[in-house]
Amino acid sequence: MDVNWGEVAEWVGVAVFALTGALVAARKGMDPFGFALLATVTGIGGGSMRDVLLGQPVFWIADPTDLVICAAVGIFTYVAGTRVVGLMAAVRPRQLLLWADALGLGIFAVTGAQKAFWFGAHPITAVVLGTLTASFGGIIRDILAGEVPLVLRKEIYVTAAFLGSATFSVCVVMGLPYSVAGPAGFVAGFGLRALAILRDWSLPPFTARTG
């Protein structure tokens, strides 16, 4: 049951991140393969980074399901956006991108930390790996698209990934089962990110006081 839940969550996270990659490809006017590539790199980027840092073969070597999901999301977005009259105007791609990204962030903050625990990492390391897993897909998407990775400057983003990952890890260290720790971490991470989007929250940026 628990493993099943985690796998479904991971698929959803991969799919929504892939969607954000495809939406950036649309903004950049890429061709169908650009859509598939950017969707795939964004969808599997965070989890691949996590596995590589853990010294493991990445999760899609043995089971290509996630690769197929990503490519399908990319191609579908290209076809739907090109063929379906008015679709791209109707869905407001910028809003869709923000919310899909927030959903993926909430999921990967948890699954990233979870896999780190699985491989015996220290809880602090688990929090950092969860934060990286949730952030890295979006960073590599922006770098490949030739944009400054906004993740580092904008309203609360990495902070939300960190909160989700830390909430999950604290629950695990306290001995709570994954069926409680997982949703708690997701709600914390996605919730903070959602509030940041809705209310335009941000942390105070750095300004040197030289007076």
106-165 residues near a second copy, rule: CB under 8 A: 116, 119-122, 124-125, 128, 135, 139, 143-146, 148-149, 152-153, 156, 158-159, 162
In the region spanning residues 78 to 97, those forming contacts with a second copy, defined by CB under 8 A, are 78, 81-89
Nearest approach in angstroms of CB 16 to a second copy is: 20
Tell me if residue 157 falls in helix, strand or coil. coil
- Determine contact, residues 201/156, Cβ cutoff 8 Å: yes
Candidates 2-10, 11-19, 30-38, 179-187; binding stretch for a second copy (CB under 8 A): 30-38
Nearest approach in angstroms of CB 192 to a second copy is: 12
How far apart, in whole angstroms, are the C-alpha atoms of residue 131 and residue 169? 11
| Whole-Å CA distances, 91 to 38, 42, 134, 138, 167 | 20, 21, 24, 21, 32
**Matching residue, tokens 């006081």:** 209
Nearer to a second copy, 183 or 191 (CB): 191
Contact residues for 104 (Cβ-Cβ < 8 A; gap 6+): 13, 14, 16, 17, 20, 134, 137
Nearest approach in angstroms of CB 154 to a second copy is: 9
- The H or E element containing residue 147 is none
Is residue 175 a contact residue for a second copy (CB under 8 A)? no
| Whole-Å CA distances, 124 to 42, 46, 90, 112, 172 | 25, 18, 43, 12, 12
Nearest approach in angstroms of CB 103 to a second copy is: 20
Torsion on CA atoms 203, 53, 139, 180, rounded to nearest 10: -60
Nearer to a second copy, 24 or 103 (CB): 24
* Identity of residue 173: V
In the region spanning residues 7 to 26, those forming contacts with a second copy, defined by CB under 8 A, are 25-26
Nearer to a second copy, 173 or 180 (CB): 173
6, 34, 112, 138: which one contacts a second copy (CB under 8 A)?
34
Binding flags for a second copy, 40-79, as an x/- string (CB under 8 A) = x-------x--xxxxxxxx-xxxxx--xx---------x-
Number of residues that bind a second copy (CB under 8 A): 71
Nearest approach in angstroms of CB 179 to a second copy is: 26
